[in-house]
A and B are shown apart, each in its own frame.
Chain A
């Protein structure tokens, strides 16, 4: 069926996708923080035999029995995984792999056998049939709406309610399960409660987006949010926003290319996560690399300034060659970049015989650095009693981090005018 032909139903499809994304994304936050993402994955696979059994026993697609069946099997997955790794001494990841793949295989077989009675095939178990959601309608409070949409509304309301009721408990368990236990909050109860909720949500969502794409909705928005914020409450909001964005963007992209809506939604969620991995302001790859680069550049620049200052101190007549500076700083582009930025900032000057010299502004900055270095050496010698040959290295590292205030404190602490090696400590 061509989804473009269902234009009148666009609204319901988008609503369903958004509801699904919201209920999953909210649950994803504790899953990601508690490092239980894969249990969510396992449960969304393993609930299949529960749903299939409910189908086979009752021969209907009523949401109630399906929810019950899936919650039972979902909890069973969590319990079996724990039991296998504790009593069977199977590694935990392998135990999870054994349990959910076996249950999923069982579910596939049950559904294949029931396929003649119920309109379900193993394929749509995986990627859902959100395009057909508007065809199966029901009535709620006098409004006619798709059955799946009504189910997801209920699940979302339930999730939000549970979240508001247990927000504090969830927060403590997420960040410090041991503290939670000492405070009388059962981490195990929260764990299994979460698992049951994940199972119920997966069931409601699975008809629309399928078992594997539920995983994308559960984990990706929450992980994206985790990269963008450090606050628990904000993480829920960002995860919800990211989920909704995936749903809407996924729908229109799929419409555009005439392809699977559910697949496109999970791709959209994955792309958002990839963007967050690369570009997140504090935890993103680019900003962290940038931060590291800028720090390395600053340290190299300061090392060059300090080197020139000390050279001038010991041999005022001769200049220090550019090649010598670069050789002392090691290979790579960083020293050249540092030199160039120093020259542009007019902190150093290059003379005609290719030697380098500090400008007046450069001298002032370098003096501060060397002062910090020698003050720190004096402090270490005075208060930690380090031997002379152990003073330089820590001071070499510390000089880049001694700010105005610390320098003032050190100055009032150290009365001598020279450092332990006998060199003058420059004054302001």
Chain B
């Protein structure tokens, strides 16, 4: 509890520094990750992060001490080497990118393990602190490390802002960018270098294994909220920042946890929430939309069936359940549910197994049938579709037909002198009621 209070009130200077660093890191990798995900470089980031491990060890061999800057340079070199290997194998041999990524990732990581074990066997080896780079230990960050994160973040954000237009086109249509005379390969390389830079800076906090997650997850989550690239970058940066802050706080409170895992899980939680509850692309919104569509379709089917029975018999007397059932290929249970819903909505009234339209239902049914037949006529007249093929298509499309289109159809047909008075006549015979 005391720990918790200290953390919340940011009493330690060190805690403040660490939280600031983790938040910035999350925000920055969210922003860069957006481009990585859109450019389909998500898993290359994973290979890059794993491949940087031997670089850390080599830096230790060369410098002989735990120097953050040397580590970063070593990691950067090996990370880019790994990426270069992947693209070489992909371009020059029959082995495809996925296998190349897997091989580079695992054998570079293996090399890293081999080298780090050799370092640990040296007398001073334990001071290297290489273990913290595998799973990350945000709490081990010092002011100097955070200053470096701030510098790198500033550089990365500056480049992203300056080249926003170029990267946008690169992500959405590389061939078009190249045809405009832009240096697409150079831009691709620059983007990869940015990904590499932010990955390497993130290693001490999040670790080799999970750093790719910080690039991928916030960006993938942000995609649910918007269709606009700039907004997506901002949302991803926000989500990444929150994940960094929350994850680091959690790992600060539970000292046994490596920092990488809670940061990634915080990001995953944001992803799951986004996926479920995002207003337009979210799963819940999608399910609701589908349900609404299904209900509308079933209501309109009931109305049209009743209307067509009345039209055929020439009276507005209620129709028998059996007659309705014979109108389309629907099950009795399905029809019953649809009828009940329509009755609740005040569109129809049922007495003794016979169903009739209310005045409101009559209007609604006339509107539905009119739209349906307008579309049928349109298809027959304008699209040259055989009359016996029309019914099914019209059936599906009338439920999504917007009012503007109906107005335009009416206009077109009126210009040809073919606009029917109230409800257009059906161009095909209406299905007879089976005895």
Contact = CB atoms under 8 A, between A and B. Distances in A.
Contacts of A213: 106, 109-110, 113
B98 A35 contact: yes
Interface in A209-224: 212-213, 215-216, 218-220, 222-223
B98 A37 contact: yes
A241 interface: no
B129 interface: no
Contact of A285 (B38, B42, B92): B92
B95 interface: yes
Interface in B264-306: 264-265, 268, 271, 275, 281, 283, 286
Nearest to B266: A105
Nearest to B257: A112
A37 B260 CA distance: 25
- Describe B's contact surface by its main secondary structure: helix
A288 B212 CA distance: 35
A269 B106 CA distance: 9
Interface string A185-213: 00000000000000000000000000011
B213 interface: yes
Contacts of B260: 105, 108
A101 B94 contact: no
A384 to B, nearest CB: 33
Given A108-B258, A270-B108, A102 B99 contact: no
Contacts of A285: 92-93
Interface in A282-300: 283-285, 288
A289 to B, nearest CB: 9
Contact of B265 (A91, A102, A271): A102
A2 to B, nearest CB: 9
B283 A260 contact: no
Contacts, number: 211
Contacts of B257: 109, 112
A271 to B, nearest CB: 8
Contacts of B100: 223
A180 interface: no
B46 interface: yes
Given A35-B96, A98-B271, A112 B258 contact: yes
Interface residues of A, number: 64
Interface stretch (B5-13, B216-224, B363-371, B385-393): B216-224
B256 interface: yes
A227 interface: yes
B262 interface: yes
Contacts of A215: 102, 105-106
A105 B92 contact: no
A258 B120 CA distance: 11
A172 interface: no
B319 interface: no
A95 interface: yes
B114 interface: yes
A106 B96 CA distance: 30
Contacts of B212: 97, 101
B107 A96 contact: no
A126 interface: yes
Interface stretch (A82-90, A311-319, A358-366, A367-375): A82-90
B339 interface: no
Contact of B209 (A93, A126, A269): A126
B89 interface: yes
B261 A105 contact: yes
B217 A101 contact: yes
A181 B428 CA distance: 40
Interface string A83-125: 0100111110111111001101110110011010000001100
A105 B113 contact: no
A267 B40 contact: no
B42 A101 contact: no
Nearest to B118: A259
B106 A266 contact: yes
B256 A115 contact: yes
B64 to A, nearest CB: 19
B220 A277 contact: no
A264 interface: yes
B156 interface: no
B114 A259 contact: yes
B372 interface: no
Interface string B29-64: 000000001101011011000100000000000000
Interface string A411-427: 00000000000000000
Nearest to A31: B99
Nearest to B111: A267
A102 B213 contact: yes
B134 interface: yes
- Most chain-B Cβ atoms within 10 A of its Cβ — which of A93, A226, A257, A265? A93
- Most chain-A Cβ atoms within 10 A of its Cβ — which of B100, B101, B216, B256? B216
A101 B111 contact: no
Contacts of B224: 88
A40 B102 CA distance: 9
Given A216-B106, A223-B103, A277 B265 contact: no
A76 interface: no
B225 interface: no
A28 B260 CA distance: 30
B131 to A, nearest CB: 7
Contacts of A271: 107
Contacts of B265: 102, 105-106, 109
Contacts of B209: 104, 126, 212
A36 B105 contact: no
B217 to A, nearest CB: 5
A269 B109 CA distance: 12
A116 to B, nearest CB: 9
B40 A259 contact: no
A88 B283 contact: yes
Nearest to B211: A101
A402 B170 CA distance: 45
A55 to B, nearest CB: 16
23 contacts: A35-B98, A38-B43, A41-B102, A84-B275, A89-B223, A90-B220, A91-B42, A94-B216, A94-B220, A97-B43, A97-B216, A122-B135, A122-B258, A213-B109, A215-B105, A218-B102, A223-B99, A258-B118, A258-B121, A263-B109, A269-B107, A270-B104, A270-B108
Give 10 nearest A-B pairs by CB, closest first.
A270-B107, A266-B110, A263-B113, A101-B213, A216-B106, A102-B268, A105-B264, A97-B216, A263-B114, A219-B102
